[in-house]
Structure 1
């Protein structure tokens, strides 16, 4: 029987009845500008086999067909939030496919990133104009931090050779040291700010780690994470990725607080060289208390702003049991993310005040 099946399969393959599945035609993405949007006539409806939609003419602005105007069908129904409604003048991304000698064009998305360049340029200009040399240094450390995260940290996460916890703390320490040294120079004030930052971030990291474990957080709290887990990067520790996000999210705010306190204590010591250790710590704590409230609410509001759709979702579920909603992985993750960073920030204040006072009193 087995031999008979083998003979049948060989015969079918030789006659072409059984063939490998056809390869999916590659998709090339190019830029374009919408030049015309209009309704479909009956001929076009038959051509595209669609009654709901519009004809979109696009002039390609990149690729080998730059300058060519192409027509495509854009389905619209007023029922889906994922539909792309365009108008003349819109910059779009065009998906170009070639199959059996026929080239097709489809609106893939809006071309948004050109405006990101504009905002980025305005941000750099504002830093340099109003910050002078310090603003220029800030641009450099921001570029370094982004390069370190995207080119080193992300690559290491993809390779999955090292502990994400250790990797996150090392990268955070490097960013803290480089940022404080480049912006403030080499001094005891900078050293105090670095040590305070490391201490505050370490506390936030410990709390984040405990939250992930004790609350059984999975790290799969977004569509992107679930898609990666299901199809592409199943081997990655998504709990570690969640931990890294919590730590990186608090790092910037902690650095801001520590350098402010260290600078304040340093200035007090400069004006009153004979001031005692306790007075220096008290001065740092007084400044820290003023910063504490505003910076904590800044951090909480930053997380609340990114979670606004989530809060609207909770508010709309009036008949759903709050016990179930408040214990959802997505909800608890956002609470843990905001609170662990805020606790680390608050703890960095007395740490920095004490460390700065100790370093200055050794002179």
Structure 2
């Protein structure tokens, strides 16, 4: 047991180190500088003038509970970073007939602003971009980590490591590889397997439960990807069904992207978490049953795994469906308000993409159950006896 724990620790250290240097080189190789000015962090020192009026839009065609804001603020800010750090400028925060009051600032607020320079590089003004919200996000994430450790102890700490590696794998490995022209489909499959392997090893070490869960998850994710690929081709999906995808058409740097592949990649990554959960639950249940009753037959083990899978199948499918519906709720409401026919709604590229995404992920989740149950109850069990 001690040797296995040391081997697991050594493997994870090697994996994290390799991840770090590989992702660092990958990001440095990729030219993502883009073009145009970048917003600079500033601090609001004083609101010199404020004249903001609001007009309630209740009981109008626009909708209930909304207001129309107009006017603006004249604010004095100090630059907090960059070549102009420490300098103060005046910014005109103008609002003309907008439906949000979110960017009205107060003294000591941190903001992001585009700075204006003259021909000689002298700072002459600026334009408010956004209020800085990262501090609150860091607080929320820190609270989440503290809660994980408080309730989970070492398991919670391992979960934080797993989340960190997953984040690095997606942001510093998968996305740069896709931007460099690699296939989104194969890249996401590779990252899914890597994330699954790493997460399960961190949580459970090099055990047969880990081995069975990895195979079950891989089978479920591949099934989801295959279903999505087939339905995407049959439905002639373009991968350009939302504004964010269309914006990628105009990114600088002459980057060529496979938008349909990006759609399938998103489907695979979206299904991964639920599939991992189902696979580990079934593998753990079968492992516990076999430990309590070593002489149980493989058929009985597989049947027990299937029963466990059926119990969690409905709730996990709901999790996927509701997550995807939640992401498209505004669009669906707009279409309903304008009384679009159901056939027209379902035929839209974006709506069809979301349906394919949700249903493909759910099918992959369902297939994870028999795959994991069969492997854990038969193949994995025999290997356990050989290795143990």
TM superposition score category, shorter chain reference: 0.7 to 0.9
Within the alignment, does 1:198 sit opposite 2:189 as a pair? no
- CA deviations on 1:270-312 (whole Å, 9 max, x unpaired) are 1111111111111111111111111111111111222221222
CA drift of 1:28 comes to 5.0
Q: What is residue 86 of structure 1 aligned with on the other side?
A: 105
What is the aligned counterpart of 2:243 among 208, 223, 233? 223
Q: What is residue 58 of structure 1 aligned with on the other side?
A: 77
- CA deviations on 1:77-135 (whole Å, 9 max, x unpaired) are 23355983334454321211212345211111121122111111112111112111121
Q: What is residue 125 of structure 2 aligned with on the other side?
A: 104
SS in 1 for 2:239: coil
Query: 1 CA distance for matches of 2:374 and 2:126?
Result: 64
Q: Which stretch of structure 1 is more off in the superposition, 265-274 or 145-154?
A: 145-154
Give unpaired runs (5+ residues) of structure 1.
1-23, 41-50
Q: What is residue 247 of structure 1 aligned with on the other side?
A: 268
Q: What is residue 293 of structure 1 aligned with on the other side?
A: 314
SS in 2 for 1:148: helix
Query: 1 CA distance for matches of 2:185 and 2:40?
Result: 37
Within the alignment, does 1:283 sit opposite 2:304 as a pair? yes
What is the aligned counterpart of 2:371 among 342, 345, 351? 351
What is the aligned counterpart of 1:35 among 17, 28, 46? 46
Within the alignment, does 1:141 sit opposite 2:162 as a pair? yes
Q: What is residue 59 of structure 2 aligned with on the other side?
A: none
With over 3 angstroms needed to count, the CA separation of the structure-2 counterparts of 1:222 and 1:33, relative to structure 1, is farther
- CA deviations on 1:227-254 (whole Å, 9 max, x unpaired) are 1113435621111111111000001111
SS in 1 for 2:98: coil
Contact 1:285 1:349 in 2 (8 A): yes
SS in 1 for 2:113: strand
SS in 2 for 1:126: helix
What is the aligned counterpart of 1:271 among 288, 292, 301? 292
With over 3 angstroms needed to count, the CA separation of the structure-2 counterparts of 1:350 and 1:268, relative to structure 1, is same
What is the aligned counterpart of 2:91 among 64, 68, 72? 72
CA drift of 1:179 comes to 1.1
Decide which structure has the larger Cα Rg and report it. 1
> TM-score, normalising length from structure 2?
0.78
The CA RMSD over aligned residues, in Å, is: 2.3
SS in 2 for 1:176: helix
Q: Which stretch of structure 1 is more off in the superposition, 78-87 or 216-225?
A: 78-87
With over 3 angstroms needed to count, the CA separation of the structure-2 counterparts of 1:317 and 1:167, relative to structure 1, is same
Q: What is residue 123 of structure 1 aligned with on the other side?
A: 144
Within the alignment, does 1:259 sit opposite 2:270 as a pair? no
Contact 1:250 1:342 in 2 (8 A): yes
Give unpaired runs (5+ residues) of structure 2.
1-34, 52-69
Q: Which stretch of structure 1 is more off in the superposition, 69-78 or 54-63?
A: 54-63
CA drift of 1:165 comes to 2.0
- CA deviations on 1:315-338 (whole Å, 9 max, x unpaired) are 2122x3332222111111111111
- CA deviations on 1:52-80 (whole Å, 9 max, x unpaired) are 43322334444455555432112212335
What is the aligned counterpart of 1:325 among 337, 345, 370? 345
> TM-score, normalising length from structure 1?
0.83
